[in-house]
Amino acid sequence: MGSIMDYSQVEIPTHCKAGVVVNEGPGFHVEVQTVPVPQPGPDDVLIKLNYTGLCSSDIHMMQGDIGLPFMSTFGVRSAGHEGAGVVVKVGANVKTFKLGDRAGIKPVMDTCGSCALCWGDKETYCKGAILTGLQAAGTYQQYLVSPARYASPIPDGVPDEIAGPIMCSASTMYRSLNESNLRSGAWVVFPGGGGGVGIQGVQLAKGMGLRPIVVDTGASKHKLALEMGAEAFVDFKDVADPAKAVIEIADGVGAHGVFVTAPAAYRTAASFIGDRIGGIVMCIGIPAAGSMTIGADPCQFVFKNLTIKGTLVGSRSDTAMALDFARRGALRQICEVYPLNRMPEAVEKLRKGEVAGRIVIDFNWEE
């Protein structure tokens, strides 16, 4: 976990750069501003982020459209929840990290640690959970304080530009794939799989012995999907009946599992199951509150033994597992790297749905 740099000699600035949301709500935009560097408490670490990923959930937080309070309710000005960097200061009680250790920040900044959910494997659903980029400053800010117990150690061999998106997209997908209980050899469909979450899911599915099919559109997403392990790509703009095309690929029967990362795909998700008995639709992508429903004729559930299930973000354990996939080369870089000063442009690109894979921001690079 260490570094050859002597971080005890590194001067911590009083202020740092951050992508700050302006005009929070539907008309928001992001500006790069200077903000104070926070100070860690006795059980915390101060992390200097090298990279942050940009996630579609960030857009929801800045628009305030998923039924949660606005960021400003908690005094938060920077979104983001998938950062990777290095520990530059440790609290007096911290034993698990030392200066120079690599660490990541996830969508959940902390939990209560004492409820039944935290004691089991559902810690991310804890009622006392603090959401990064909503209730606590997010990873669009270069220096962040994290409770030491909840920061994720990043193993050697996993670059920060890969580790950043793993904190959310890959760990979220690992959680969903794991909870689907699908076996090796199963056909799995990723509607919207050319995006940042879906393309991580494609790689993980491949690594688990599953057979990924991506449904998306555009030459760049087609190329990326096949490079990252998809067995087939169905362009929903070029194919008259995408569900029929998927069913034909999946042995003429249908998919065993559908992993919905693009909210617009919820309307047709169950159609990819075809005549497969015991199929499952996993709900991952978060739409604007009240904008989407998912379901089917109850006869489909009865006669096809169909399951629809939702999962939230990955736990600490899920993140560690996803990082191990990356350490072994099963999760590769799927990101386009932008300099810090172009963060506002990158956020707009994400808002318009123009990103293949992920965009990450390099805090140490400005044009």
pLDDT digits (tens, 9 = 90+) for 118-175: 999 999 999 999 999 999 999 999 999 999 999 999 999 999 999 999 999 999 999 9
Query: Given a cut of 50, is residue 1 above it in pLDDT?
Result: no
Query: Given a cut of 70, is residue 2 above it in pLDDT?
Result: no
- Among residues 199, 177, 238, 200, the alpha carbon closest in space to that of 326 is found at 200
Note the pLDDT of residue 300: 86
In this prediction the pTM is: 0.94
Average pLDDT value for residue range 362-366: 97
Average pLDDT value for residue range 77-96: 98
Average pLDDT value for residue range 96-106: 98
Cβ–Cβ under 8 Å, residues 215 and 248: no
Tokens read off for 195: 């995006």
Q: Count other C-beta atoms under 10 Å from residue 14's C-beta.
A: 8
pLDDT band at 178 (very low <50, low <70, confident <90, very high): very high
CA trace torsion 113, 117, 120, 123 (10° rounding): -70
pLDDT band at 6 (very low <50, low <70, confident <90, very high): confident
Residue 297: alpha-carbon gap to chain centroid: 31
The per-residue pLDDT for range 268-303, each reduced to its tens digit, is 999 999 999 999 999 999 999 889 888 778 998 999
pLDDT band at 4 (very low <50, low <70, confident <90, very high): low
Burial 340-362 (b: 16+ CB within 10 A, else e): bebbbebbebbbeeebbbbbbbb
The per-residue pLDDT for range 211-265, each reduced to its tens digit, is 999 999 999 999 999 999 999 999 999 999 999 999 999 999 999 999 999 999 9
Backbone angles phi, psi at 322, to 5 degrees: -65, -40
Backbone angles phi, psi at 191, to 5 degrees: -65, 130
Non-local (6+) Cβ contacts of 6 within 8 A are 100
Note the pLDDT of residue 222: 96
